[in-house]
Structure 1
Amino acid sequence: MLDDELLSTHLQELRRGTVVLACLLILEQPNYGYALLDLLDRQGFAVDANTLYPLLRRLEKQELLTSDWNTEESRPRKFYRTSGKGLALAETLSRGWDELDTAFRALKGKS
């Protein structure tokens, strides 16, 4: 039986790369950080704010996301959206994910 710490560590490693793809897919529609955290959590991608915000800044710096400030409400919010370059990457990563899923299913079928 796996101990909780070991399991948690490996699940975190497994999910780490998937959060980038999840963000790129979700942000095809503009959204702000806190709402994105909530959406990710509801979809099964538990991410800490201290992880998400640096990730958003990195993806923006890599030109995979664009952002705009919305100051129309009482609290200004920075809205992120997947760029054309980000959409292309999301499509490629999605195909890669499908290929990995197929490979894992084949491995499971051999046991």
Structure 2
Amino acid sequence: MVERNDIGLTELRRGVLVLATLSRLRAPQYGYSLKQALAEGGMPVEEGTLYPLLRRLESQGLLVSHWNTEHAPPRRYYQLSPEGERTLAALTAAWRDQVRVMDGFLSEGTAR
């Protein structure tokens, strides 16, 4: 049985995964290195979640990718597109605004 807290955490995490992913792709990374970077930053993600997300972000024009076949094994590298850079800046600003709002909401309960 899934606990209600697990559902809330899953939804919260899903909402920030795009921002976390875009923030790690300012420089080119292949899927596994991105997975490691996210985990090291405190946001582990399963391959079954990450790779579909990368494909979706690329289809939305936020990422560009290329294959590097110079080393074995060949790896597909992802990086922000110019539109992805603009989107990252906009999402970062929105995130910071939401953090301020939520800090206000959450501190109301402790200020009494």
TM-score w.r.t. length of structure 2: 0.92
Q: What is the CA deviation profile of residues 20-75 of structure 1, one whole-angstrom value per residue up to 9, with x for unaligned ones?
A: 11111110000000111111111111211001000000000011000010001110
Corresponding residue for residue 28 of structure 2: 30
Corresponding residue for residue 56 of structure 1: 54
Residue from 40, 43, 58 that aligns with 1:42:
40
**What one-letter code is carried by the residue in structure 2 that aligns with 1:92?**
A
Question: Can you give the 5+ residue segments of structure 2 that lack an aligned partner in the other structure?
Answer: none
Q: What is the CA deviation profile of residues 85-110 of structure 1, one whole-angstrom value per residue up to 9, with x for unaligned ones?
A: 00101111111110110001111221
Corresponding residue for residue 78 of structure 2: 80
**Partners in 1 of 2:103 and 2:65 — Cα distance?**
38
% identity of equivalent residues: 41
Please report how far the alpha carbon of residue 5 of structure 1 lies from its aligned counterpart in structure 2 after TM superposition.
Answer: 2.8
Q: Secondary structure at the match of 2:67?
A: strand
**Partners in 2 of 1:7 and 1:34 — Cα distance?**
29
Please report how far the alpha carbon of residue 12 of structure 1 lies from its aligned counterpart in structure 2 after TM superposition.
Answer: 1.0
Question: Can you give the 5+ residue segments of structure 1 that lack an aligned partner in the other structure?
Answer: none
**Partners in 2 of 1:5 and 1:37 — Cα distance?**
26
What is the aligned-residue RMSD (CA, Å)?
Answer: 1.3
Please report how far the alpha carbon of residue 10 of structure 1 lies from its aligned counterpart in structure 2 after TM superposition.
Answer: 1.2
Aligned length: 109
**What one-letter code is carried by the residue in structure 1 that aligns with 2:12?**
L
Corresponding residue for residue 19 of structure 1: 17
Q: Secondary structure at the match of 2:27?
A: coil
TM-score w.r.t. length of structure 1: 0.93
